[in-house]
């Protein structure tokens, strides 16, 4: 471990823990712990959502996917960025106006059903687990590159997983939503600055995106393949073109990883999944108003658009720069095969070391740790909200005090963190090869697939279709969740083909099926009695909502008088 690595890592931990200490909630109420008192401003919340959303899959994975497969890797950036368009148009403002603690809470109250609550809690926890594991893996990979050895007899990878997960679990457990919000806002700014620094130094060195793509496309695309595991022997293997099989795959043309159907399926899966991500959607409940939630989403769209554009550019830069840097940087031989990185997630950290020596490596790897830790924070808080509020407060101990409810949320945070870390350690680090554009990004796609297939259709229908019923919602969630998991698990056993591409990103097929089942079952069952009231709350004008509240108060007052 170099002095620079020690200083960088210490600085990250000091910033994270310091922000949590300063901004920790002063009161032990569930509104403060889960929703930061619903007083988070537009700018702060937009930065925090970006910090929540721009995970290790975004910082490491998108650049790695572009590095490995060129244009096909850029589809990840397109899908991740496009996800906030449906959120802006369909979800953000109505969700906040209705006002609850979590997606499960929203669906349960909107459809007046505890069965919906329990079903949505199960789906939410599956999404969170699918998202948590690759973030912990990203932390392990980053520690392995930054530090190079473990602590207490553990491998470097396992140490990174445990350390990054443990630190952020403590931050969330005792900082709550307020501390997590400010942490994620600061972490996003640090992450964004690291990416901007890399873009500036690469461009100053003469890199031009268009020229680089043209040069890289002048020869067939090849990536390292482990040909002898026992001997640790690697060799370059030429990529297949899945769109034009008679032509070699090249960097600047589609077809390296996906055919036409696979490209569409991937973008749809990522775009629809965003509206069902519990850690992102829960943030809208912290906005003071529906208008603020919508404005926040506009800011998020701009910020993540710039972020992903830079990530695509830098993935391309790494592909061009690293081979010609071999002569001046002999240490690259440890990470490459004929000038191509064995682990594509190392693309940005290696660029940082090339242009900034140990300090540059420290900056970029610290940013990668920040990305993983920031998203883990949001996921743990979402997990705490569903278990602590939706299960403990509503079912296990309905008479719980505010203090007991908060401590239940803290305990479930630590349990979720331990589960994710254990699963991440169970994965072998050497599994991170270019067999897929980026394994970290691919694993996150599973979370998007479940969210976009099981939660997004039901949430959108609950917001925009008054006739949605509890039975319909449960049937839709179960259909979407079961089919999505079955399809992407089946894909892992198939050889590359159009069928495998569709199964690996199943939302294109499963989401319409979930919508159909939800509608058919809803039409055969009775809608909630207060469906019209819910509609006014979500979609009515301010005057409509004021009138509705007065009517409700009048009815309640009459009921009390009769009771006397």
Q: Is the pLDDT of residue 177 over 60?
A: no
Which span out of 58-72, 169-183, 305-319, 320-334 was modeled with the highest average pLDDT?
305-319
What is the rounded CA–CA span in Å between residue 421 and residue 154? 13
SS (H, E, C) 224-271: EEEEECCCCEEEEEECCCCCCCCCCCCCCCCCCCCCHHHHHHHHHHHH
What are the structural domains of the chain?
Answer: 3-528 (1.20.1730.10)
Q: How confident is the model at residue 36 (pLDDT cuts 50, 70, 90)?
A: very low
d(CA 273, CA 148): 35
pLDDT band at 265 (very low <50, low <70, confident <90, very high): very high
Joined tokens for residue 163: 């350390």
The reported pLDDT for the residue numbered 563 is 62
278, 382 in Cβ contact below 8 A? Answer: yes
Collapsing DSSP states into helix, strand and coil, what is residue 351?
helix
Residues 6+ apart with CB under 8 A from 191: 51, 54, 59, 367, 370, 371, 374
Q: What pairs with residue 225 in β-bridges?
A: 235
Cα–Cα distance between 389 and 101 in angstroms, integer? 8
d(CA 388, CA 173): 12
What is the sign, positive or negative, of the torsion defined by CA atoms of 284, 285, 287, 288? Answer: positive
* Angle between helices 439-450 and 114-146 in degrees, nearest 10: 170
Q: How far is CA 551 from CA 99, 310, 548, 564, in A?
A: 19, 52, 5, 20
**172 is written with which tokens?**
């969330």
Percent of the chain with pLDDT over 70: 82
Q: Residues 6 or more apart from 198 whose CB is under 8 A from it?
A: 310, 314, 348, 351, 352, 355, 364
Which residues neighbour 57 within 8 Å (Cβ) at sequence distance 6 or greater?
A: 76, 134, 135, 138, 438, 440, 441, 443, 444
pLDDT at 431: 47
List pLDDT tens digits, range 514-535: 999 999 999 999 989 888 888 8
pTM: 0.82
């Amino acid at each position: 471990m170099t002095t620079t690595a020690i200083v960088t890592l210490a600085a990250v931990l000091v910033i994270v823990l310091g922000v949590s200490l300063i901004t920790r909630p002063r009161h032990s109420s569930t509104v403060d712990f889960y929703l930061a008192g619903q007083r988070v401003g537009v700018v702060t919340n937009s930065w925090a959502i970006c910090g929540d959303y721009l995970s290790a899959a975004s910082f490491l994975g998108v650049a790695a996917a572009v590095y490995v497969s060129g244009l096909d890797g850029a589809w990840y950036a397109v899908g991740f960025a496009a996800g906030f368009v449906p959120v802006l148009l369909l979800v953000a403002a109505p969700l906040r106006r209705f006002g609850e603690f979590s997606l499960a809470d929203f669906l349960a109250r909107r459809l007046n059903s505890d069965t919906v609550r329990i079903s949505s809690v199960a789906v939410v926890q599956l999404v969170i687990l699918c998202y948590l594991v690759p973030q912990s893996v990203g932390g392990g990979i980053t520690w392995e590159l930054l530090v190079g050895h473990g602590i207490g007899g553990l491998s470097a990878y396992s140490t990174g997983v445990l350390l990054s997960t443990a630190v952020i679990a403590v931050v969330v457990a005792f900082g709550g939503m307020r501390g997590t919000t400010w942490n994620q806002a600061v972490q996003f700014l640090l992450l964004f600055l690291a990416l901007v620094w890399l873009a500036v130094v690469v461009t100053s060195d003469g890199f031009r995106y268009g020229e680089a793509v043209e040069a890289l496309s002048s020869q067939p695309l090849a990536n390292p393949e482990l040909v002898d595991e026992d001997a640790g022997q690697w060799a370059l293997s030429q990529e297949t073109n899945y769109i034009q099989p008679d032509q070699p795959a090249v960097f600047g043309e589609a077809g390296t990883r996906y055919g036409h159907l696979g490209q569409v399926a991937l973008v749809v899966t990522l775009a629809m999944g965003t509206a069902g991500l519990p850690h992102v959607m829960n943030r809208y409940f912290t906005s003071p108003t529906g208008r603020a939630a919508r404005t926040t989403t506009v800011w998020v769209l701009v910020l993540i658009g710039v972020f992903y554009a830079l990530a695509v550019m830098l993935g391309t830069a790494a592909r061009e720069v690293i081979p010609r840097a071999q002569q001046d940087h002999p240490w690259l031989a440890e990470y490459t095969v004929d000038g191509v990185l064995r682990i594509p997630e190392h693309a940005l950290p290696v660029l940082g070391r090339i242009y900034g020596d140990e300090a540059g490596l420290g900056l970029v790897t610290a940013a990668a740790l920040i990305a993983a830790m920031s998203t883990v924070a949001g996921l743990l808080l979402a997990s705490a909200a569903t278990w602590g509020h939706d299960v403990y407060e509503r079912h296990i101990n309905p008479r719980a005090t505010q203090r007991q409810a908060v401590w239940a949320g803290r305990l479930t945070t630590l349990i979720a963190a331990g589960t994710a870390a254990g699963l991440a350690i169970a994965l072998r680090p050497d599994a991170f090869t270019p067999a897929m554009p980026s394994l970290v990004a691919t694993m996150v796609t599973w979370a998007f697939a479940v969210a976009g297939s099981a939660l997004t259709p039901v949430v959108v229908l609950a917001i925009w279709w008054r006739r949605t019923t509890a039975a319909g919602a449960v049937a839709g969630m179960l259909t979407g969740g079961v089919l999505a998991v079955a399809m992407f698990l089946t894909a892992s056993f198939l050889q590359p083909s159009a069928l495998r591409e569709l199964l690996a990103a199943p939302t294109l097929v499963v989401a319409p099926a979930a919508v159909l089942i939800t509608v058919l079952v809803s039409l055969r069952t009775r809608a909630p009695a207060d469906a019209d009231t819910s509609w006014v709350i979500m979609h009515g004008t301010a005057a409509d909502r004021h009138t509705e509240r007065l009517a409700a108060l009048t009815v309640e007052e009459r009921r009390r008088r009769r009771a006397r």
